[in-house]
Chains A and B, each alone.
Chain A
Amino acid sequence: MISLKTEKGGTASKGVVPPFLLNWLGLLPFAALIFVFLVVPAIGVFIQALHNSDGSVGFGSMREAVTGQNFDAFVFSFGFSLGTATVGTLFGLLVAYAIAVTSRPRWVRGVAMSFSGVTANMGGVLLAFAFLSLLGRQGVLTKIFSALGWDLYAGDFNLGNTVGLIVVYSYFNIPLMVLVSLAAVENVKGTWREACSSLGGNAFTYWRRVGLPVLSPSIISGFLLLFANSFSAYATARALTDNSKIVPLRIGFFLSGDIKTGTDSLGYALAAWMIIVMAVCIALYWIARSRAERWQRA
C-alpha cells in the first residue's frame, strides 16, 4: 500500500478517505481566524488580569474586581440582566404562543418571524437613540405621561437604571426568545395535546405532564441566552447612559482610561470575570439546547 503512494495513486484515492492530516488542514484557515483574532486576545485579557496592584503576578486584581464598587457593579449588572431575561422570557413565550395559535390571517406568522429576526439583532446605537426619543427626559412618551399627570422622572427612573434597561433590552430580548422558542411552542400546541386529551388528560394534566416538561429545556436555554445577551451588551448601554455600574461600561471606562486607579490590570480583571460568567452561561445554554432539540426531532 505504501509503495503505491505515487502522484497517480493520490489522485485516484481523492474521492475516498484522505489522509488524517489533510482533514485538519482544511480547517486551518477557520481555526486560525478564531485563534488569532478571538482566542489570543482572550488569553491576553487573562494574562493581564492575573496581576496584583504592584504589577507582580497573582490574584490581586481578580479579587479587587469583585470587591467594593466593582462588586456593586456586578450585583447591579446581575440584577438587571436577570430582570430583563425574566421579562424577555415571559413575554417572548406569550408572543410565541400568540403567533402559534393565530392561523388567520396567514401572513401573521411570516411577518412576525422576519420582524423578530430583525429586531432580535437591533441592539446598539440605533436602539439607544430610539428609546431616548421615546422615554428620555425630552421623550415623546415622557411628555405624554406628564400631560396625563405622571412625572416619569420624579422618582429615580432613568434609562440607565434597572427599570430603564429592562424596558430597552426587552426590545431585542423578546424577539430573541420568540425565535428560540417558537418551534417548541408549536410542538406543544399541536398533536401532543390531542393525544393527551384522547388518553383522558385535561388541560392541567397536559401542561403538568407534557407541556412544561417538553418546553422547559427551551425556556431554560432561552433564558440563559437572554441573560448572557444582556449582561455583555456594551453598545446599547454606552449610547444610552454613562452609568458605570453596568459592568461592560465599567470595562470600557477602564480601557479608555476614564477611571484612573493606578493599576492597569483592574479593567482586564473585570473583563476576565465577564468572560468567565459568559462561559458558564453559554455552557449551560449548550446543554439545555441539546436537550431541547431532542424533542424537536421527534
Chain B
Amino acid sequence: MRDNGRPVWAYFVLCITGLFFLAPFLTMARFAFQNVLVIDLGWSNLFENWSFDKATAAFGATYFAESLWYSLRLAVFTSVLSVAIIVPTAVFVHLRLKRLRTIIEFFTLLPYVIPAIGLVAGIVVLKPYIRGFIASDYSLVPFYAVLSLPFTYRALDSALQSLPLETLVSASRSLGATWTQTLFRVLLPNIKTAVISGVFLTIAIVLGEYTIADVLLKRTLPAFMVEYRGTDPRGGYALAVLTLALTTLLFVVLGLLTRSRHEKSRSS
C-alpha cells in the first residue's frame, strides 16, 4: 500500500473523523466561556465576550466543593482498594495458576455482563438488608472497584505477561527475600507503569460514573453537574469542560510517566 504514494483518502477520513471528535467539545467550551447567544453568533463576534464567569460562579455554588471532594475521596479509596486486591491476584495467577488465566479473564468480563444499571438494580434489592452500609458515603467504593476491574486487570495482565516472572521470583526467593519483599522490591518496580495506568483509569472511571450515583441519589461530581445544568445550563457546561480538562491532564501525565520509563529502558 505504501508504494501507492500518499493515500489521500486516508488523510481525508482521518481529518473528517477528527473534526467529528473535536466539534462537540469545542461547542461545549463556547457555551461555557462565551456569553453570546447562539442566534447572534457569527464570524464577527466569534472572539467576543469570553470569560470564566460561569465557571467561577459554579465553583461558588452550594454543593460544588462538597461533590468534588466526595468524588475525589471515592477516586482515592477505590484506587487503593482495587490495587490492593488486583495486583496480588494478578501476580498470583501468573505465578501459580497459569492454566486458570482464562477463567480469571472470564471473571473480568462479568462487569460487562452485569452493567452498571443492572448492578444498581441489585443494590436497590439488597438495600433494605444493608441500609446502614448504603447510607455511608463510602458504600460506592467496592462497587466502583468492581466496575474498574476489567480495565485494571487488563493493564496488569499484559505487563505481567511480558515479565520472566518465575525467574524473578526464584532469584529473589533464593537470595533470601520474603514474599512481601519480593512483591514490593522486585515485582512492583517492574509493573509500576501498569499499576499507575490502572490507577489512572480507575480515577477516570470514578470521576465519570453517573449510573449508580444517580439511582442511589449520591451527589458525586457528575450528579452535581446534571443537577446544576438544570438551573444554569452554561454553568453546567463550564463544569463539564473543567472536568474534561482535569481528566485529560491526568492522561497526559500518565502518557509522560509511561513514556519516560520506556525511554529510560531503551537508553540503558
Contacts and interface: CB of A to CB of B under 8 A. Distances in A.
A14 B243 CA distance: 49
Contact of B23 (A15, A134, A267): A134
Contact of B117 (A118, A133, A234): A234
A195 interface: no
Interface stretch (B55-63, B157-165, B206-214): B206-214
B168 interface: no
Contacts of A125: 208, 210, 222, 225-226, 240
Nearest to A233: B115
B38 A143 contact: yes
B24 A134 contact: yes
A18 B96 contact: yes
A138 B38 contact: yes
A129 B124 contact: no
B87 to A, nearest CB: 10
Contacts of A29: 85, 88-89
B126 A23 contact: no
Contacts of B117: 232, 234, 248, 251-252, 271, 274
Name the residue in A18, A29, A102, A125 with the highest tally of chain B Cβ atoms < 10 Å from its Cβ. A125
A27 B112 CA distance: 21
Interface residues of B, number: 81
A224 B13 CA distance: 24
A30 B205 CA distance: 19
Interface of A is mostly: helix
B116 interface: yes
B143 to A, nearest CB: 6
Contacts of A274: 115, 117-118
Contacts of A31: 107
A26 B88 contact: yes
Given A23-B97, A42-B122, A118-B248, A275 B113 contact: yes
A85 to B, nearest CB: 14
A98 B117 CA distance: 35
A98 B9 contact: yes
A176 B135 CA distance: 36
A129 B6 CA distance: 38
A140 B96 contact: no
B204 interface: yes
Of the listed residues A104, A133, A251, the one surrounded by the most CB atoms of chain B closer than 10 A to its CB is A133
B206 to A, nearest CB: 12
A76 interface: no
A75 to B, nearest CB: 18
Contacts of B106: 286
A240 B30 CA distance: 19
Contacts of B88: 26, 29
B121 A271 contact: yes
Given A41-B125, A42-B114, A133-B237, A33 B38 contact: no
**Which of B25, B122, B209 has the largest count of A CB atoms less than 10 A from its CB?**
B122
B208 A34 contact: no
Given A133-B24, A143-B39, A45 B210 contact: no
B165 to A, nearest CB: 13
A34 B149 contact: yes
Contacts of A143: 38-39, 41
Interface in B187-207: 201, 204-205
B230 to A, nearest CB: 11
Contacts of B225: 125, 129
B186 interface: no
A238 B125 contact: no
A121 interface: yes
A112 B173 contact: no
A220 interface: no
Interface string B172-194: 01100000000000000000000
B214 A252 contact: yes
Interface string B1-25: 1100011011101100100110111
A42 B115 CA distance: 10
B251 interface: yes
Nearest to A117: B251
Contact of A275 (B10, B27, B114, B240): B114
A271 B248 CA distance: 33
A241 interface: no
Interface of A: 14-15, 18, 23, 26-27, 29-31, 33-34, 36-45, 47-48, 91, 94-95, 97-99, 101-104, 108, 112, 114-115, 118-119, 121, 123-127, 129-131, 133-134, 138-141, 143, 170-171, 174-175, 189, 193, 228, 232-235, 238-239, 248, 251-252, 255-256, 267-268, 271, 274-275, 278-279, 282, 286
Given A91-B17, A98-B7, 6 more contacts: A27-B93, A33-B145, A42-B118, A44-B125, A133-B31, A171-B21
Q: Which 7 A-B pairs have the closest CB atoms?
A: A41-B122, A130-B24, A232-B115, A44-B125, A271-B121, A235-B210, A98-B10
